[in-house]
Amino acid sequence: MKKYLYPDLYVNSILDLPLDKLYQHGIRAFILDLDNTVTEWNSCELRDEVVAWMKEVKARGFKACIASNNGRERVVAVAEGLGIPFVSKAGKPRRRAFLRALEVMGSSAEETAVIGDQVFTDILGGNRMGLFTILVVPINKREFIGTRVMRKFEIMVLREIRKAIERGDVNSLLID
């Protein structure tokens, strides 16, 4: 279970990512989830701090791509607002979504991190691909009904992840 469901890093928000440390670790690209990672669920609105964060990410030489299971229209709107490429209707956690994102960015799995708020899509898919995985706390509790169902199962995994953090098996920048 640990191999596929545990993230390499657990943070409150994309805004809390230790960009310097990730760069030192060899990370040069980010595959970003959309809902409750970059924006609130079902929203195209980008908060000013997220836009500023993306400018900093690019200025530091990182590449980024949104990979979302959402349809094209909404994903395009957010990706254009951030000035980054995207993969819509991604079908996460299937490998195809991550392979397409790597291809779009021209990056390798070894230098890419996947960042998302869901264990069973973002973290599972990223771990299956050998990517560095980063779990974020969801921006908002409002979610798609299917996501809410999966959160019930995720609770058990999150308990184990928190124990792994206490043991030092998972790095955390959670601010309680």
DSSP three-state, residue 30? strand
Who contacts 21 (Cβ-Cβ below 8 Å, separation ≥6)?
none
Give the whole-angstrom CA distance, residue 7 versus residue 9: 5
Give the whole-angstrom CA distance, residue 174 versus residue 145: 26
pLDDT tens figures, 57-91: 999 999 999 999 888 988 999 999 999 999 999 98
Per-residue DSSP letters for 124-136?
Answer: HHHHHTT-EEEEE
- Nearest CA to 173 out of 139, 136, 138 is that of 136
Domain assignments of the chain as residue spans, ordered by start:
2-173
With contact defined as beta carbons under 8 Å apart, do 69 and 121 qualify? yes
pLDDT tens figures, 94-107: 999 999 999 999 99
pLDDT band at 159 (very low <50, low <70, confident <90, very high): confident
| pTM summary value | 0.86
Class of domain 2-173: alpha beta
Return the pLDDT at 155: 75
Helix%, strand%, coil% for the chain, nearest 5: 45, 15, 35
